[in-house]
A = this chain, B = another copy of it.
Amino acid sequence: MEERYSKAETLALRRKHIGPSCKVFFAKDPLKIVRAQGQYMFDEKGEKYLDCINNVAHVGHSHPYVIKAATKQMELLNTNSRFLHDNLVQYAQRLTATLPEKLSVCYFVNSGSEANDLALRLARQYRGYQDVITLENAYHGHVTSLIDISPYKFNQLGKDCKKEYVHVAPSPDIYRGKYREDHPDPASAYAEEVKKIIEETQKNGRKIAAFIAESMQSCGGQVIPPVGYFQKVAEYVRAAGGVFIADEVQVGFGRVGKHFWAFQLQGEDFVPDIVTMGKPIGNGHPMSCVVTTREIAESFGASGLEYFNTFGGNPVSCAIGLAVLDVIEKEDLQGNATRVGNYLLELLAEQKKKHPLVGDIRGVGLFVGVDLVKDQQKRTPATAEALHLIYKLKERQILLSADGPYRNILKFKPPMCFTMEDAKHAVETIDVLLTDS
């Protein structure tokens, strides 16, 4: 018996005991999910849904290898990192081996929000500067310090909600942004905008602690920055004394296929000063990490303030983290992301030719966005149409979501075991629905 309450009872108890700010998917008719395996979720009636959205279940829902590692370690020991433990250092070693050499020092924490908050603390301690440059539509987490640097959130709170130490640069979106695919050098043009902000800020006597950006914007609308943008931004930011924080919480761990980290799409000559990780890192287990350079870590240590995180880096989390790295490798999930991602992009490109609602297809590996528009020329966001499509797909047992500032961008970020057949089935269903509508 997998169900304790009827769906109506679950919903009623949820309304009574869970904060109303905590929303459910498909609010008009929420899903109750009782089990999941690989890229499939099952509701209380046993109905099977194809999961195109849960990037957290990175190596697949309920992966037996990961569960075994967790159970084995739970039976031995789960305690804090004030005791020496092999899992912590082995995991730190394995994780840093995936990164450029300079990024060698880890801080293990519990969530992407804790990671990004700590990244800001590291950046601010580094030279004592305070200001942060963030991108339009960015979301970096739910704690106070991150709502402050997340226009995706603070813009909803009305005017004057931007703090004076926060500076918002244009999103390097070549489909909807200020400089588009027809611009001769959008990377430089967008980087120049950051430079302007730095100069303006300095004129006002303020100092930049950090530039922070997701290596690809997810909530912001599946935006892939043009190659070379990060290098130029990093140059300007460092010249001003700041550091470059690459937020890989959504997009790291091989999702882009040919690289382990999405920032590596910019080229080998780009190395961030701080990288933050989260969601997929533990296949659903609450854990995350900040990796930085020895220099920045030493400067943080120099304050004398201890950094202690009760659960961060505990032996169970590290065992799970190690198991996730093993599975990515053993099952060649990066290769799969490339193969299936390319196929998905091809299939979607055909849809673009066929349906005027499809304005843009963009993506790399298993991180793909479909920008729906009411008008191909004006690129008017097709918000209502996207929502309608999402509900129709749910009826056909395919889970997809719409995001971006206008909620018009279909967001593919499935578990990494997603197959060619899954891609075909999803796109064929979209085709049918777009043809019918």
Identify the A interface with B (CB < 8 A): 2-5, 7, 10-11, 13-14, 16-25, 30-36, 41, 54, 56-57, 61-62, 64, 67, 70-71, 74-86, 88-90, 92-93, 96, 104-107, 110-114, 117-118, 120-121, 142-145, 147, 153, 156-157, 278-279, 283-287, 292, 297-298, 300-301, 303-314, 316-317
Contacts and interface: CB of A to CB of B under 8 A. Distances in A.
Contacts of A121: 144, 147
Nearest to A57: B79
A313 B24 CA distance: 13
B62 A24 contact: no
A77 B156 CA distance: 33
A43 to B, nearest CB: 9
A78 to B, nearest CB: 4
Contact of A314 (B24, B284, B300, B306): B284
Contact of A77 (B30, B33, B81, B118): B33
A156 B304 CA distance: 8
A153 B10 CA distance: 42
Quickly give the copy total for this chain. Answer: 2
Given A92-B13, A287-B286, A310-B279, A19 B82 contact: no
Contacts of A24: 81-84
Contacts of A89: 5, 10, 13-14, 17-18
Nearest to A71: B71
Residue of A17, A62, A80 most packed against chain B (CB within 10 A): A17
Contact of A21 (B21, B35, B80, B301): B301
| 7 closest Cβ pairs, A-B complex | A17-B92, A13-B89, A20-B301, A286-B311, A21-B307, A286-B286, A78-B284
A23 B308 contact: yes
Contact of A61 (B22, B79, B142): B79
B79 A310 contact: no
Given A19-B105, A61-B79, A308 B86 contact: no
Contacts of A84: 7, 10-11, 14, 24, 30-33
B19 A83 contact: no
Contacts of A16: 104
Nearest to A306: B23
A14 B16 CA distance: 46
Contacts of A70: 70-71, 74
A178 B67 CA distance: 53
Contacts of A117: 143-144
Contact of A144 (B14, B79, B104, B145): B145
